[in-house]
Every structure is written in structure tokens, then in C-alpha cells.
């Protein structure tokens, strides 16, 4: 025999919690406290935990506060299996952004005085603040208006124990409200003065109708619950662990690469599926996407660009002299991607700047920008050749197709316009350690099977991103605003497209933040990297005004501005660009 909270009691609890004084950020605090209590074996004082996407008990704390499950399996829910119980909008989140995102769950506490939680050290670790005050806590987690009631502790207890056999836990078929609340406070490890400030903690009575012998059904007690999937891919949501495994696989194939480069490539694809791999010849730019595709069970096609490409015929297709349609390489790849929606496809345009990119890729760039989200949640462009025949008129760029280009920046190749650079992530391979010979593994690590949804853009732009108060988002936008002030002097400032893609790259990077390190375990800041990829390649010229901008940006990158934040990757490249300008009278991002 088993006893669980009943569907009706859970529905009532969620309705009252959502309409209480509590802000959604209270979920973050409770998740962190639960994690520290687990780590401290019941006493959060003195416990220190890492805050990575997949670190336990940090993840267990988030799951206990926010996870919707069916028999403990959240993968059965389509897309968004995490619920904010204190959100009156009734918001849900996907596995990529559990709670308020694993970074924000902890990060939003370090910027305030009297914080009850502290971030310290590297990698990021969370501990209990010794000087937390009731006022400091309430300032973060409660609405200022007292016209809303405090959340009821028994309501949150019913939600917290939603998947717990209460008979096994409390030894009673009808545990009292006082028993539930007392156990809840102990499981969260919150001291009495903070507890009384957070909750209306009276020992409410319970009745037999509050309990049922069957595990509750979230589709019955959660309003507007996500769709329940009958079948789901076996892909793990442990993105950080998966990226590390992919790096091991790529390295075992004898390819010398930094962990952060693999993480950056994967994050760029998941942010905007148009990536340019640039740098000197022979560094493995073509090999990286092939090995990543191989490591994730994805599809990979190589299409060498020829110098005589002056239009999109070789990409999209053309009619020959016999008036027979010959589909181009990209069109054929797009059709395969559309026919296999569960498989991720990569199309590699090798030596893409051996011809003028703006000539042969112009139409494709337009289709990339015109992708839209349809009512069923799918993402695609309009048909590439709507006037075509022979079954090719409905082929579009779907979410599971990524275009990757390799480029060598030397005197034999063509440069890029800002139209191209604004629409791509540029990942450079130029720093080469020739003494690193690499090692081919006798036994390759197992393939990390990712279905197409693991690669899909979760947000097409910031307009779709739900958490407007995310510290990661706020920092990204504030930093880009500073950069724009420098670039404004020569009219090179970035617009909304670059803003969105930089911010979303940094937000997506939090899913595998532990992989943004060198092989010597030196951290690489995703924001530093994103600005280097999306902003600095736009800078070129030879005017005195440009030199002034490079000097001011270099001071900013060195942390000599008001924020004192350093951007070492940008600093290194800006130093090179400034030196080249002084030596030759002209400079650009490219080597």
C-alpha cells in the first residue's frame, strides 16, 4: 500500500502558491538550500557544492523544487518538464535551462549584500552565507506589495513531496500538516527566522481527501502542463557530460583540439546553425565538424567550393541544356534533413571563400534569416525553390540542418562582408602547438547519440527568451553596450541581430560551462569568446579613427574601464590588430 498527495490537493496548492507574494526566484533559493542540505547530510552549514549543469547534489536540489515527473522520468514530457510553482504566469522550462538556468540559479545571489548564498572559487562553488538577514532575503524573493498572502508552507510541502510515498516517509495514511511542514523545513535546511519570513507556517490540518493511493498525475493537477510524449529519444540531457565525452572521442581520433573549442562549436550550432571555421591551413577546420557529427551519430556531407561559383546554381540547382533540373548540393542535403527530422545534418562548405561568398551564398543567407517557428513548434525557412518542379519545390532549411564553412584567410582568398559576418559565428583555428602529436586511441569512446532536438535552437531571438532578469543576459547586454560606445566612433557598432546571438550563445554555453576550459584547465569566458567571434571580425581599415577605437577597446579588454572585467581573448586579438595597423597601415581581424 502507498499514499501520495492527491491530484486535487496538488492543484489547489499550485494555484495558491502562484498567487502568493513569492517571486519565481524563490524557487532558486529553495533549490540551492536543498542542494546544500543534501551535501551537508542534513546540515547546510559548512557544505560547499559545485554549480555545474550536471553536478550533484546541485541538480537534485533543482529537480526536487521544479521537476515534473512521471514515475521519476521527466523525459516523457515534451520540451519543458520544469515548473515554477511561484510564477503566476505558470511558466515551464526545458532541460537546457533547468530552474532559472543553472548559472542564474546560483549567480543571482552573489551580486547582493547580505546574501544567504555565496559563490566562491573556480570552478564555481556555492556555500551558505553567514551574514544573511531576513530583510536581505525578502528583498530578493518577495513582492513588495503585502496585499498578496505569504505562500503557505503546507502547500509547498504537498508539491515538494509530490512523488514521495507518504506512508513510507511518515508512517501514516493521513499525515498532519504540521508533520509535512516540519519535515519540509528540515529537508530544505532553512533556519527558523528565515523560515517564518518566507512562509505562512501554521500547522494546517489535513483530511483524507488530500491523499490518494496512486502516484499523482501531473497532466491532471498542473494547469497547461506540457504534452506527454509516448516515446522519447534516448539522448541524455546531461549536456556538459556529453560535451566532455565528445571531446574525448575527437581526441581519440588523433585530432588535437582544446575542450573549449569543441564546446564553442557545439554551442554556436545550437545558437545559430551557420558557423565559419577560419584560420591557417592544415589545422583541422574541415575535420572538426566531421568528427563531432561522427561522435554524436549525426549526418555529415562535404561540398567543396570552386573558384568559378558566381551564383547559387551549385548550391540550389539549375536546369541543364536538356531542360532537366539538376539539384544543387545544399538542396539535396536540405531534402535529406527534411526527410529525416530526428537526425542532425551538417553540410560542410570547404574552402568557402575561394569564391566570393556574397555571390553564391546570398540567397541562402536570406533563407537562414527568414526561419520562423511554426504553431507546432518546428522551425524552418520558406521553400528554397518554390517555383521548381520534380518534387524539389517544398524543400526548406529545417532546424536539423547546419551549414558550416571552412576558410583560409590569405592573399589567395576573398574576404567577408559584414552581411556574412553578422549572420555567422566565426571560430578561429590559428594557435598551433606543433609539438603536440596527438594520440589515436585503440578503443574509441562510445558515441554520444544526440537526436536533432539536442541541436535545435531553443530561441530564435531574445524576444522568445522568458527570463528578462537573468544576470547572464543582463551582463551580456551591458557589455555589448560598452563595446558599442567604442565602435560608434567609426560607425561599426552592432545591431539587434548580433546582440541576440551573442547573448544567446552565452546563455546556451551555461549548459556545458565546465567544458569551456583549456587542456590545462584554464577557464575560457563564453562572453569573451562570443565578442571575439561576432564583433571583432567586423573591424578592418586603416584610418586614424580606427586606431583610436582599437586603443580604447584594448583598454576595455584589459579591464581598465569602469567595470574592471577582463576579456583576455579579445585583448590578445586587439593587440595583434593594433600592431598590424602600426606596421602596415591596414588591419583586420584575420591573420
User: Rounded CA gap, 549 and 581, in Å?
Assistant: 12
Helix axes 26-39, 58-66, angle to 10 degrees: 130
- Is residue 528 pLDDT above 50, yes or no? yes
Q: What is the pLDDT of residue 276?
A: 93
DSSP string spanning 408-425?
A: E-STTS----HHHHTTSE
Question: Could you tell me which residue, 205 or 560, shows the higher pLDDT?
Answer: 205
Tens digit of each residue's pLDDT (9 = 90 or more) over 225-261: 877 754 333 334 456 668 888 998 888 888 888 899 9
- Does pLDDT of 561 surpass 50? yes
pLDDT (average), residues 564-588: 90
CA–CA gap between residue 354 and residue 350 (Å, rounded): 9
Helix (H) or strand (E) holding 304: strand 299-304
**For residues 67 and 80, what is the distance between their CA atoms, to the nearest angstrom?**
9
Lowest mean pLDDT across 141-155, 227-241, 267-281, 284-298: 227-241
For residue range 143-197, list pLDDT tens digits in order.
Answer: 888 889 999 999 999 999 999 999 999 999 999 999 999 999 999 999 999 999 9
The pLDDT mean for the chain works out to: 85
Instruction: Name the superfamily (CATH) of residues 235-457.
Output: P-loop containing nucleotide triphosphate hydrolases (3.40.50.300)
pLDDT at 235: 36
pLDDT at 233: 36
Give residue 234's pLDDT: 34
In this prediction, residues 423-428 reach a mean pLDDT of: 87
For strands 92-93 and 82-83, give the pairing: antiparallel
Closest CA to 79 of 98, 60, 52, 100: 98
DSSP-derived secondary structure letter, 125: E
pLDDT of 549 over the 80 cut: yes
CB 205 within 8 A of CB 60: no
Residue 66 burial (CB count, 10 A): 24
The pLDDT value given to residue 56: 82
pLDDT, tens digit (0-9, with 9 covering 90-100), for 24-72: 889 989 999 999 999 999 999 989 988 776 678 888 898 899 988 766 6
The Cα 83–Cα 99 span in angstroms is 8
Q: Which of 163-177, 281-295, 483-497, 532-546 has the lowest mean pLDDT?
A: 281-295
Torsion of CA 356, 432, 534, 343, to 10 degrees: 80
How far is it, in rounded angstroms, from Cα 31 to Cα 103? Answer: 13
Could you read off the pLDDT of 431-449 as tens digits, one per residue?
Answer: 655 555 556 555 666 777 8
User: Dihedral, CA atoms, 517, 256, 425, 538, nearest 10 degrees?
Assistant: 90
How far apart CA 422 and CA 417 sit, in angstroms, is 9
Per residue in 74-93, pLDDT (tens digit) is 666 766 788 889 988 777 87
Cβ contact 205:176 at 8 Å: yes
* DSSP character string of 353-364: GGS-HHHHSHHH
Question: What's the confidence (pLDDT) of residue 55?
Answer: 76
Label residue 410 exposed, middle or buried (CB < 10 Å: 0-12, 13-18, 19+): exposed
Please tell me the predicted confidence (pLDDT) of residue 145: 82
CA gap 251, 261 in Å, rounded: 12
Domain spans, the chain? 4-221, 235-457, 460-591
Beta bridge partners of 401: 345
Q: Is the Cβ–Cβ distance between 313 and 260 less than 8 Å? A: no
Nearest to 547 by CA among 584, 590, 577: 577
Q: Give the pLDDT of residue 95.
A: 66
CB atoms within 10 A of CB 252: 18
Q: Is 218 helix (H, G, I), strand (E, B) or coil?
A: helix
Task: Compute CA 67 distance to the chain's CA centroid, rounded to the nearest angstrom.
Answer: 18
3 state SS of 347: strand
State residue 96's pLDDT score: 58
Greater confidence (481 vs 84) lies with 481
Per-residue pLDDT, averaged over 262-272, amounts to 94
Q: Do residues 281 and 429 touch, judged by C-beta distance below 8 A?
A: no
Amino acid at each position: 500500500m502507498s499514499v501520495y498527495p492527491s491530484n486535487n490537493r496538488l492543484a489547489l496548492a499550485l494555484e495558491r502558491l502562484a498567487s502568493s507574494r513569492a517571486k519565481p526566484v524563490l524557487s532558486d533559493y529553495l533549490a540551492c538550500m536543498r542542494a546544500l542540505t543534501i551535501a551537508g547530510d542534513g546540515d547546510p552549514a559548512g557544505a560547499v557544492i559545485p554549480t555545474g549543469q550536471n553536478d550533484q547534489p546541485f541538480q537534485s536540489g533543482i529537480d526536487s523544487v521544479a521537476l515534473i515527473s512521471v514515475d521519476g522520468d521527466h523525459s516523457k514530457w515534451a520540451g519543458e518538464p520544469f515548473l515554477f510553482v511561484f510564477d503566476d504566469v505558470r511558466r515551464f522550462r526545458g532541460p537546457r535551462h533547468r530552474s532559472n538556468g543553472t548559472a542564474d540559479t546560483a549567480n543571482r545571489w552573489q551580486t547582493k549584500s547580505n546574501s544567504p548564498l555565496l559563490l566562491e572559487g573556480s570552478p564555481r562553488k556555492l556555500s551558505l552565507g553567514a551574514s544573511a538577514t531576513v530583510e536581505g532575503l525578502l528583498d530578493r524573493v518577495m513582492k513588495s506589495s503585502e496585499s498578496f498572502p505569504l505562500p503557505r508552507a503546507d502547500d509547498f510541502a504537498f508539491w515538494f513531496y509530490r512523488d514521495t510515498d507518504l506512508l513510507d516517509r511518515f508512517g501514516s495514511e493521513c499525515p498532519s500538516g504540521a508533520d509535512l511542514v516540519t519535515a519540509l523545513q528540515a529537508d530544505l535546511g532553512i533556519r527558523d527566522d528565515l523560515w517564518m519570513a518566507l512562509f505562512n507556517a501554521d500547522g494546517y490540518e489535513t483530511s483524507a481527501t488530500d491523499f490518494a493511493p496512486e502516484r499523482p498525475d501531473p497532466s491532471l493537477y498542473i494547469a497547461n502542463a506540457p504534452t506527454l510524449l509516448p516515446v522519447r529519444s534516448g539522448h541524455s540531457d546531461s549536456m556538459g557530460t556529453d560535451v566532455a565525452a565528445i571531446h574525448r572521442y575527437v581526441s581519440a581520433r588523433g585530432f588535437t583540439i582544446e575542450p573549449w573549442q569543441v564546446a564553442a562549436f557545439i554551442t554556436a550550432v545550437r545558437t545559430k546553425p551557420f558557423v565559419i571555421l577560419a584560420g591557417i591551413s592544415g589545422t583541422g577546420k574541415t575535420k572538426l565538424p566531421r568528427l563531432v557529427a561522427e561522435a554524436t551519430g549525426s549526418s555529415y556531407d562535404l561540398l567543396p567550393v570552386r573558384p568559378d561559383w558566381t551564383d547559387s546554381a551549385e548550391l540550389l540547382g539549375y536546369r541543364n541544356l536538356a531542360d532537366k533540373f539538376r539539384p544543387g548540393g545544399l538542396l539535396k542535403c536540405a531534402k535529406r534533413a527534411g526527410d529525416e527530422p530526428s537526425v542532425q545534418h551538417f553540410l560542410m562548405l570547404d574552402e568557402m571563400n575561394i569564391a566570393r561568398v556574397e555571390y553564391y551564398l546570398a540567397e541562402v543567407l536570406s533563407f537562414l534569416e527568414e526561419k520562423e517557428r511554426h504553431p507546432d513548434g518546428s522551425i524552418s525557412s520558406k521553400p528554397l525553390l518554390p517555383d521548381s518542379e520534380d518534387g524539389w519545390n517544398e524543400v526548406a532549411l529545417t532546424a536539423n540542418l547546419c551549414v558550416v564553412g571552412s576558410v583560409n584567410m590569405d592573399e589567395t582568398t576573398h574576404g567577408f562582408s559584414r552581411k556574412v559576418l553578422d549572420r555567422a559565428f566565426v571560430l578561429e583555428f590559428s594557435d598551433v602547438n606543433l609539438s603536440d602529436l596527438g594520440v589515436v586511441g585503440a578503443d574509441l569512446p562510445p558515441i554520444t547519440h544526440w537526436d536533432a532536438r539536442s541541436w535545435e535552437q531553443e530561441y530564435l531571438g531574445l524576444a522568445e527568451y522568458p527570463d528578462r532578469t537573468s544576470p547572464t543576459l543582463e551582463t551580456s547586454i551591458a557589455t555589448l553596450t560598452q563595446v558599442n560606445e567604442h565602435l560608434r566612433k567609426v560607425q561599426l557598432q552592432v545591431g539587434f541581430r548580433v546582440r541576440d546571438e551573442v547573448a544567446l550563445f552565452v546563455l546556451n554555453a551555461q549548459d556545458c560551462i565546465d567544458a569551456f576550459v583549456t587542456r590545462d584547465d584554464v577557464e575560457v569566458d563564453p562572453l569573451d569568446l562570443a565578442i571575439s567571434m561576432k564583433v571583432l571580425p567586423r573591424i578592418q581599415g586603416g584610418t586614424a579613427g580606427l586606431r583610436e577605437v582599437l586603443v580604447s577597446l584594448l583598454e576595455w579588454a584589459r579591464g581598465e574601464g569602469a567595470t574592471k572585467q577582463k576579456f583576455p581573448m579579445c585583448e590578445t586579438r586587439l593587440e595583434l590588430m593594433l600592431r598590424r595597423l602600426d606596421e602596415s597601415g591596414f588591419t583586420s581581424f584575420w591573420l
